[in-house]
Amino acid sequence: MSWEWDVIIEHFPRLLQGAILTLELVLFSGFAGLMLAVPLALMRVSSKPWIQALPFAYIFFFRGTPLLIQIFLVYYGSSQFEFIKNSALWPILREPYWCAIITFALHTAAYIAELLRGAIQSIPKGEIEAAKALGMSYPMMLRRIILPRAFGIMMPAYGNEVILMLKGSALASTITLLDLTGMARTIIARTYTPLEIFLAAGVIYLIISALLILLFRFLEKRFNRHQHWPNEKPKDLDPQHIEN
Partner 1 sequence: MGFKKLMTAAALIAATLSAPAIAGDKIRIATEGAYAPFNMINADGELAGFDVDIAKALCEEMKADCKIVAQDWDGIIPGLKARKYDAIIASLSITPERSRVVSFTDHYYSNSLTFVTGKETSFDPKMVEGKVIGAQRATIAGQYLEDNLGDKATVKLYDTQDNAYIDLASGRLDAILSDKLPAYDWLQSKEGQAFEFRGEKIDIDDKIAIAVRKPDSELKEKFNKALKAIIDNGTYEKINAKYFPFSIY
Name the residues that contact partner 1, by CB under 8 A. Answer: 76, 79-80, 85, 94, 96, 174, 176, 185-186, 188-192, 194
Nearer to partner 1, 94 or 167 (CB): 94
d(CA 122, CA 111): 17
- Residue 135 DSSP symbol: T
Shortest Cβ 96–partner 1 spacing (Å): 8
Report which of 221, 210, 99, 104 is spatially closest to residue 163, judged by C-alpha positions: 210
- Residue 73 DSSP symbol: I
167, 176, 204 from 193: Cα distances, Å: 22, 21, 17
Contact (Cβ atoms closer than 8 angstroms) between residue 204 and residue 19: yes
111 burial (CB, 10 Å; 0-12 / 13-18 / 19+) is buried
Report which of 60, 79, 38, 39 is spatially closest to residue 176, judged by C-alpha positions: 79
Shortest Cβ 85–partner 1 spacing (Å): 7
Nearer to partner 1, 56 or 198 (CB): 198
Nearer to partner 1, 3 or 76 (CB): 76
Shortest Cβ 228–partner 1 spacing (Å): 49
Shortest Cβ 217–partner 1 spacing (Å): 37
Shortest Cβ 191–partner 1 spacing (Å): 7
Nearer to partner 1, 88 or 242 (CB): 88
Shortest Cβ 108–partner 1 spacing (Å): 24
Shortest Cβ 75–partner 1 spacing (Å): 9
Phi, then psi, of 232 in degrees rounded to 5: -130, 130
Tell me the one-letter amino acid at 51.
I
Helix pair angle (194-223, 180-191), 10° resolution = 170
d(CA 203, CA 180): 11
Tell me the one-letter amino acid at 158.
Y
